[in-house]
Amino acid sequence: MAIESEVLVVGGGLAGLTSALAAAREGAEVRLVSYKQSTLRQASGLVDLLGYTPDGDGPLTDPYEAIPDLPTEHPYSTVGVDTVREAMDLFDDVTDYAGGHTDTNALVPTHGGTVKPTARYPRSAAAGLASDDRDLLLVGFDSMTDFDAPHAAAHLEAAGVPFDVRGETIRFPGDLRADAKVTRYAKLLDTNGGVAVRGRERPAREALAQRVNPLVDDEQRVGFPAVLGDDDHAGVRAALESKMGVDVFEVPMGPPSLPGLRLEDRLFAALDAAGASIETGNPVVDYDGGGRVERVYVEKNGAEIPMTADQYVLATGGLVGKGVESDREGVYEPIFDCHVPHSDDRYDWFDTDAFGDHPFAGFGLRTDDELRPLGTDEAVEFENLRAAGSVLGGYDFAAEKSGSGVSIATGYAAGTSAAAEVR
């Protein structure tokens, strides 16, 4: 015996979650197995579709318009622009993100003071859009050094935003330790827990609003680093807005990212609601099979737990997620040993300039038009295995700003066609 399902998805990042969700919604019996938490917690929580072309042109206004001109090996070319749209519809359906009302990219200020073209953004970031012309105040906390509000404001100003922007730094009420965790702020605000202000216990939300109020001139919107609550982030924002009489928004931050974490929670909940089985904490390490994957093995401290399915989706991420690994000998995909095209000379893998055009950024699997990985001989490696997300090659998510979009689109395509095989 083994643990059985119709579609088995390996990897719990954006790509794995989307493919499991797509397959489950098509009626397939789905199981998702993931090792660690996904790179969503490291990402900003913004969902980029395509911000720049592979040649660096941009920022693009309409990512969908640019997709047909991408190179053939690009994952968007593999799945086609209609599938990208359907995939984004699924995403919009299960999340509460904003941006779905238009094809054009939104411009969202980042914690470094740059403006980033993105397709979907958390509602909590909505009042901060750079295309809005209301004046803006950024508020940073002196204990959170990753966000220097005056510096970010100066950057935004230099970028030519159509409004006045100022930055102020305050002490978070209650004097949290200098390296307090983002979850500590979030929990305090979620529960409106007590903080000591001049010797008196005050509820955190009130204390924060009171501290910021005197700093607001005539700005109509105030941005904080993205630590405004976790479970009840909408409640935290609404409370601050009513106490401050302005719109409040969050500026997406570097890792660890609360918006990324909230998105992850949301997607897991949707997957649960769709009836899929989920298992995290242990890696898939091996498989049985020839032209078909018969079963895979999940490793728990030496014990190998067999799992079988009819169709498999590989969504184990790229170099960061550990779906693609490298050593001195080469670059490889560790579970199925799918072929990863790369130069034999490892000095060709990266550019000597740190910010150069690194080939490793595009490392990943090549597939047929059904997302099935191809071997050296251009033949499909396994008839029932599809790949999705940053385990795929042919694109550079950091340069193009396409990371989440590619994961969602290919995840959706892989999940939908895997489900079609079993129905």
Ligand X SMILES: Cc1cc2nc3c(=O)[nH]c(=O)nc-3n(C[C@H](O)[C@H](O)[C@H](O)COP(=O)(O)OP(=O)(O)OC[C@H]3O[C@@H](n4cnc5c(N)ncnc54)[C@H](O)[C@@H]3O)c2cc1C
Contact positions vs ligand X (CB under 6 A): 10-16, 33-40, 42-44, 46-48, 255, 283-284, 315-317, 320-323, 335, 389-390, 397, 403-404, 407
3-state secondary structure of 289: strand
Q: Using CB distances below 5 to 8 A depending on partner kind, what does residue 253 bind out of ligand X, another protein, none?
A: another protein
d(CA 7, CA 193): 44
DSSP tag of 230? S
Helices (H), 192-255: 204-212, 233-244
Q: Using CB distances below 5 to 8 A depending on partner kind, what does residue 10 bind out of another protein, ligand X, none?
A: ligand X
For residue 398, give the nearest of 6, 43, 75 by alpha carbon. 43
The phi, psi pair for 16, rounded to 5°, reads -65, -45
Of 53, 210, 277, 308, the one binding another protein (CB under 8 A) is 277
**Binding region for another protein (CB under 8 A) out of 29-37, 58-66, 83-91, 92-100:** 29-37
Instruction: Indicate the helix (H) or strand (E) that contains 195.
Output: strand 194-197
Q: Contact between 44 and another protein (CB under 8 A)? A: yes
Locus of tokens 């295995």 = 385
For residue 219, give the nearest of 128, 133, 137, 132 by alpha carbon. 137
d(CA 210, CA 223): 15
d(CA 57, CA 176): 43
Tokens read off for 87? 């995939």
Tokens read off for 221? 């919107």
Nearer to another protein, 57 or 327 (CB): 327
Q: Do 286 and 296 meet the contact criterion of CB atoms below 8 Å apart?
A: yes
Give min distance, CB of 419 to ligand X, in A: 18
Q: Contact between 266 and another protein (CB under 8 A)? A: no
For residue 384, give the nearest of 67, 23, 56 by alpha carbon. 23
**Binding region for another protein (CB under 8 A) out of 67-75, 120-128, 200-208, 275-283:** 275-283
Q: Contact between 58 and another protein (CB under 8 A)? A: no
Q: Contact between 27 and another protein (CB under 8 A)? A: no
Q: Using CB distances below 5 to 8 A depending on partner kind, what does residue 364 bind out of another protein, ligand X, none?
A: none
Q: Contact between 261 and another protein (CB under 8 A)? A: yes
Q: Using CB distances below 5 to 8 A depending on partner kind, what does residue 176 bind out of another protein, ligand X, none?
A: another protein
Give min distance, CB of 417 to another protein, in A: 25
How many other C-beta atoms lie within 10 A of the C-beta of residue 322? 16
Interaction with another protein in 289-348: which residues (CB under 8 A)? Answer: 298, 300-303, 305-306, 319-322, 325-328, 331, 334, 346
Interaction with another protein in 155-214: which residues (CB under 8 A)? Answer: 176-177, 179-184, 186-187, 191
Residue span 380-399 as binding mask against another protein, x where in contact by CB under 8 A, dash where not: -----------------xx-
Give min distance, CB of 136 to ligand X, in A: 21
